[in-house]
Structure 1
Amino acid sequence: TWRRRAGNGAHESSKGTAMKEDTITMEHQRRYSRHHERLIASKRLQTFFGLLLVVVLPAMYRWGGDFWFTSTTAQWNAFIGTAAAFTLSLTFINRLCQLPGTKSFAYVIPTVSVSYVVLIILCSLLEIAVSRLQVGISFAMAVVFGSAFYYVDSRLTTKRMAVVPFGKALSLCVKKNTSVRWYMLNSPSLVGVKRIDAVVADLRGDLPEEWQRFLADCTIHRIPVYHATQVHEMLTGRVLLDHLYANEFGSLSPHEGYEVVKRGLDILGALLLLPLVSPIMVLTAIAIRRDSPGPALFCQPRMGFHCRPFSVYKFRSMYTDHKGQGFTEGDNDPRITRVGRVIRKYRLDELPQLVNVLKGDMSFIGPRPESMSLASWYEKDVPFFHYRHVVRPGISGWAQVEQGYAAEVDGMIEKLEYDFYYIKNFSFWLDLLIVLRTIRTVVTGNGSR
């Protein structure tokens, strides 16, 4: 009888402990759920008040309170069109800010501008009557509202992640990024830890059994658990080469459906841009010929899509009688001409590659194509190098906007890590982010070679 009572007491004690641990986990689940619900509510309120300030109030101010009953067709078209453009711009910003290294408020003006320009173009092409003054007022209000909201949001919102202190989680995450508030877990429990967004662990490491149960409980209670390499990629925009085997090669294959769409966008973009930039190309060619002897165009064999060689077209930016090592040696390369420094800074030397885009050799966005000699050299040292040719090379790419145009040899490994991240996350949104950052580089000249 004594043994039975003791056994029952031990069972009740362990049950109480389990219930206590479960209560702790449930409390964090409630915190996470409340936080998640607040985020959803914040997005809805953002859209609601944004439409109210950007679309409804300007319309009522201009046309009066009886606007709903006395408005003309042009006024209603402007009302509906600006609502659609503003909602589209919010969608763009919210998707872009999920990508590495993005600050949402920095993309308010570009995305709002693109959305409203598309509205005006569509109305012009379809001959839809619209109040352009109302569109202009709504555009100005959208820029002001979006900039203020996302600036405050970026200052107040900080990711909180708890780290399981085993394996490579510490070295891959905490030491690599300071934009996240990290919580080091000393025991398999969230006691004393405030609201967190996720738990980070080296899921391929040798975790003790109690830590495995802890991660399972987090998953059951809908607290996200991320592998350390996945978080590293999310925060840095790079896929480490020494962890490439950890990725299934199927996950690194680009989406075939988007490849078709992207090819169509490339052709359309090249056809629209060539007539617009032709005067700039003519002036650039004249400046090159007057600055130094030699042809204006430079052709070089490069490694292309599916490892097929092709000839890339560029404006010549170097002297023809200066010998080099077969690759750019940085900003102080003595082979670069005076005009060459200018056209490199603003990427004008890349304009002839619009022809490569039309031919199908290149895309607007993708890994930069390397010369045949450099490609052979890299392949000897980096077993995965040829895998970057699973997508078309691009005029601009993720490595260029993140790393900048450094000398080819110096940042080769880092450049490949960015290229593999682009291939793994091959999507319209990542391409759009690269386009916006490339435009910023062209306008400011910062980050160019």
Structure 2
Amino acid sequence: MTKINSVSRSNEVVRARGSETMRRASRMMGWALLGLFLLGLAILAVEPLRQTGIVTVLFTRTLIWSGVAYLCAFALMLRSLHLPAVEGSSLVGLSVTLAFVILLAGFAILRVEYSRVALVISYFATLIWTWYGYRLFVRNYVPVFGYSDEATLAQLEKILNMPGAAPPSASRFEHIRSLFEATRCDALMVDRNATADPERTRLLSQLKLSHVRMYSVERIGEMLTGRVGLAHIDENFLDDYAKHYFYGFFKRLLDIVAVIVLSPLALPLSVLVGLAVRLESKGPAIFRQTRVGVFGRAFVMLKFRSMTTDDDAPAQFAKRQDPRVTRVGRVIRKYRLDEIPQLWNVLKGDMSLIGPRPEQVPMVEQFSQSIPYYPYRHLVRPGLSGWAQVQQGYVGTHEETVTKLSYDLFYVKHCSFALDFLIALKTLRTLLTGYGAR
């Protein structure tokens, strides 16, 4: 790399340009504060209406409490900025809805009276304001990443162009001839495995102190695709996983509560599906198969049978227009009704509502030998739906399985309630449209 001259003379320029790399968090925070200021003005404007009796004191009080939900929505958004920008619309709707649901639950638990009209107005105002801010500062902004050698860009292209993957977020890449030129970019893309030398380390540290953000190739790949670059996984991956201990405890509690809440709907629906399966073809309505769960432990997974019975069939990928699938099976697979019995697996603790889909034992043994780091997907409980399912759907080749693993390991690395709720939202789309079924 070309040596940087006169760095000290250009410090102010570097800081001004480099600070642009903080735009997602800082500008969204500024937008949130502006909205909070406008909410305060709205509350002051409503006060004369309250004095004249047009609105009640509950209306004003609800607007004030809605400010708490508003801040919670933006906090959830900021915690989710590591996800690809193309997920913005779903994240906005999820963050705002979840914040107001929590507020509504708080009203119910504490028996606080509130104005329904004020709450509805606040909800839609927050939804529109948050969506416009995200669209303005994050979703429609095309970041520019600088790189200093073609090999670095080639590494990134391998991550972006994996078979069967969803399209990445929009971005531009600029070749730089010196590290100083990185100040014109939103971030500098570096190869952390490159041979280090004192000069390179010194220049990188100077730019870092001048607020130029630097990302590894794999980190930029994650931001643009929602997938992990498998060629760059190292021991740091396990450090990231270790941060999710308390999250896993509370997620288990939510799984149990969710199954109990869904039972009144799931039980009668199970009777209807089971009856339809038995009437169409001979064999049991419930299909049992050994799958691999958390920490590699085997368990018996339950499903409604969607295929003809063949005990001698080897483990294999599901195919498009698979002849083994029955007519009823095509319907229940399309809308994921065959997965209803797995609520029992969730209640037992074999599975979770959200997580990597469990695979058959022979396939796990095969992939563990042919795909590096495949067992890492078993660091969390498998789920009824997962990040790979809503992004990619079913896979049918070994190459697509590698891509699926990159999605699964992204979930293992970044699992959070925000990501879980996003997956749940996209799963509802699958239930309504049948996307990805085979």
> TM-score range with shorter-chain normalisation?
0.7 to 0.9
- Among 17, 29, 37, the alignment partner of 2:15 is 29
CA RMSD of aligned residues (A): 3.1
The answer to whether the 8 Å contact 1:401/1:437 transfers is: yes
Q: 2-side partners of 1:239 and 1:37: how far apart? A: 24
* Structure 1 residue 124 corresponds to structure 2 residue 115: no
Q: Number of matched residues? A: 427
User: What corresponds to 1:10 in structure 2?
Assistant: none
CA contact (8 A) 1:51 1:83 kept: no
Deviation at 1:281, TM superposition (A): 2.3
2 CA distance for matches of 1:39 and 1:253? 25
Indicate the structure whose relative CO is greater, using CA pairs within 8 Å and at least 6 residues apart. Answer: 2
Within-5 A mapping of 1:254-293: 255-293=244-282
Which one of 141, 164, 169 corresponds to residue 157 of structure 1?
141
Structure 1 match to 2:170:
179
Could you tell which deviates more after superposition, 348-357 or 106-115? Answer: 106-115
* CA deviation after TM superposition for structure 1 residue 76, in Å: 4.0
Separation in 2 of the partners of 1:400 and 1:123? 36
Residues 41 and 434 (structure 1 numbering): CA distance in 2 closer, same or farther, change over 3 Å?
closer
Higher mean displacement: 355-364 or 287-296:
287-296
CA distance in 2 between counterparts of 1:402 and 1:37 reads: 27
- Higher gyration radius (CA): 1
Partners in 2 of 1:417 and 1:358 — Cα distance? 28
Q: In the aligned structure 1, how far is the partner of 2:276 from the partner of 2:329?
A: 10
Deviation at 1:302, TM superposition (A): 0.8
> What is residue 38 of structure 2 aligned with on the other side?
52
Cα deviation code 1:340-361 (max 9, x no counterpart): 2222222221121111111011
Task: Give the share of equivalent positions with the same residue, in percent.
Answer: 34
Q: CA deviation at 1:162?
A: 1.5
Q: Is the 8 A contact 2:305 2:329 kept in 1?
A: yes
User: Deviations 1:152-203 (Å, cap 9, x if unpaired)?
Assistant: 334542222211216x42112357357222221123432xx66322211112
CA contact (8 A) 1:346 1:441 kept: yes
Structure 2 spans left out of the alignment, 5+ residues: 161-167
Question: Does the aligned pair in 2 maintain the 1:105–1:146 contact within 8 Å?
Answer: no
Distance 2:169 2:123 in 1: 35
CA contact (8 A) 2:4 2:178 kept: no
Which residue pairs with 1:84 in the alignment? 68
Deviation at residue 120 of structure 1 after TM alignment? 3.1
Q: Which residue identity is paired with 1:29?
A: R
Q: Tell me which amino acid in the other structure corresponds to 1:348.
A: L
Report how far residue 335 of structure 1 moved.
0.9
Q: Give the letter for the 1:27 counterpart.
A: V
Matched, 1:302 2:291: yes
Report SS of the residue matched to 1:20: coil
Q: Which structure 2 residues correspond to residues 21-420 of structure 1 after superposition, within 5 A?
A: 21-33=7-19, 36=22, 40=26, 42-49=28-35, 52=38, 57=42, 65-67=48-50, 72=56, 74-100=58-84, 102-154=86-138, 156-165=140-149, 168-173=151-156, 176=160, 179-190=170-181, 195-206=184-195, 210-245=199-234, 247=236, 249-253=238-242, 255-321=244-310, 324-407=313-396, 409=398, 411-420=400-409
Which residue type is aligned with residue 411 of structure 2? Y
Call closer, same or farther: CA 1:310–1:18 in 2, change over 3 Å.
Answer: closer
Which amino acid letter does the alignment assign opposite residue 43 of structure 1? Answer: M
Q: Distance in 2 between matches of 1:363 and 1:313?
A: 13
Partner of 1:395, secondary structure, is strand
Give the TM-score of the pair, scaled to structure 1.
Answer: 0.84
- 3-state DSSP class of the match of 2:26? helix
Looking at structure 2, the residues matched to 250 and 155 of structure 1 have their Cα atoms a distance apart, in angstroms, of 30
Higher mean alpha-carbon deviation, 431-440 vs 317-326, is at 317-326
- Take 1:425 and 1:27, find their aligned partners in 2: how far apart are those partners? 35
**Aligned partners of 2:229, 2:258: CA distance in 1, in Å?**
33
| Contact 1:304/1:310 (8 A) holds in 2 | yes
Deviation at 1:51, TM superposition (A): 6.5
Query: How far apart in 2 are the matches of 1:39 and 1:242?
Result: 29
1:263 counterpart SS class: helix
Which of 111-120 and 386-395 deviates more?
A: 111-120
- Contact 1:254/1:391, CA 8 A, preserved across alignment: no
Q: 1:141 and 1:264 mapped to 2: Cα distance?
A: 32
- CA contact under 8 A between 2:94 and 2:421: conserved in structure 1? no
**Using a 3 Å threshold, how does the CA distance of structure 1 residues 411 and 60 change in structure 2: closer, same or farther?**
same
Task: Give 3-state SS (helix, strand or coil) of 1:128's partner.
Answer: coil
Is this contact kept in 2: 1:298–1:313, CA < 8 A? yes
Pairwise CA distance, 1:50: 5.8
Q: Secondary structure at the match of 1:183?
A: strand
Residues in 2 aligned to 1:81 and 1:291: alpha-carbon distance in whole angstroms: 55
Q: In structure 1, what is the Cα distance between the partners aligned to 2:98 and 2:202?
A: 49
Q: For the structure 1 residues 36 and 249, does the alpha-carbon distance in structure 2 shift closer, same or farther, using more than 3 Å as the test?
A: closer
Q: Unpaired segments of 5 or more residues in structure 1? A: 1-16
Q: TM-score, structure 2 length as denominator? A: 0.86
Distance 1:136 1:156 in 2: 28
Distance of aligned partners of 1:39 and 1:248 in 2 relative to their CA distance in 1, 3 Å threshold: closer
